[in-house]
Amino acid sequence: MALNEGEEWEWEPPSEDFVAGMGTGATKEATRWAYKGYLLEHAHAFRAISPQKTGRPRKGQYEDIDCRRAFATWHFVQSNIPEELRAGLTNRNLIGTMQSIQNALEQHMLEHDRKLFPIGEAAIESSISRGKSKLEISAGWNSKVCEKLMSTLSQTTS
């Protein structure tokens, strides 16, 4: 195809999925994969030049004090109380038990574990209730979320 003398011409704009270096014989799938790689490289470059978030790092989904208290209580119930007796357990009774265990083992505990069940704090019961709902702990003290956390915990600590 040739242009006549004096005839105007212009470059055809590249298509939306144009990838430099992909020839005209490339399949649509090859072009698509090359374009996705191109977008991925640009996303990494954009993240590298974007400003870093300031402030302290945010806690994970299950790392707040409510979930830690509920998880510790769940672990105690799973380890020490038969399944047929779990339905009658109340948070208040378990808090008393956990506080007495904490007091007995205080010398051997890490500093942040000593504060899980402080004596005299009235909000512990509601804290455990919030943690139970986040960790999806049922009335019979069963939880798929806690079981999954326990399996990942044993993988990271052994």
Tell me the pLDDT tens digit for each residue of 34-93.
888 888 998 988 888 887 777 887 778 888 889 999 999 999 999 998 888 888 888 888
* Percent over 70 (pLDDT), the chain: 86
The average pLDDT across 97-125 equals 76
**Residue 96 clears pLDDT 90, i.e. is over it:** no
* Percent over 90 (pLDDT), the chain: 17
**Chain centre distance of CA 38:** 28
Burial class (CB within 10 angstroms; exposed 0-12, middle 13-18, buried 19+) of 67 = buried
Listed as own residue / partner, the contacts of 79-85 with beta carbons closer than 8 Å and 24 or more positions apart are 81/141, 83/140
Most confident of 57-61, 125-129, 149-153: 125-129
Residue 130: which pLDDT band, with cuts at 50, 70 and 90? very high
Amino acid 134: pLDDT:
93
Element (H, E) at 124: helix 124-134
| Tokens encoding 88 | 């009658």
Helix axes 124-134, 91-104, angle to 10 degrees: 110
Residue 19: which pLDDT band, with cuts at 50, 70 and 90? low
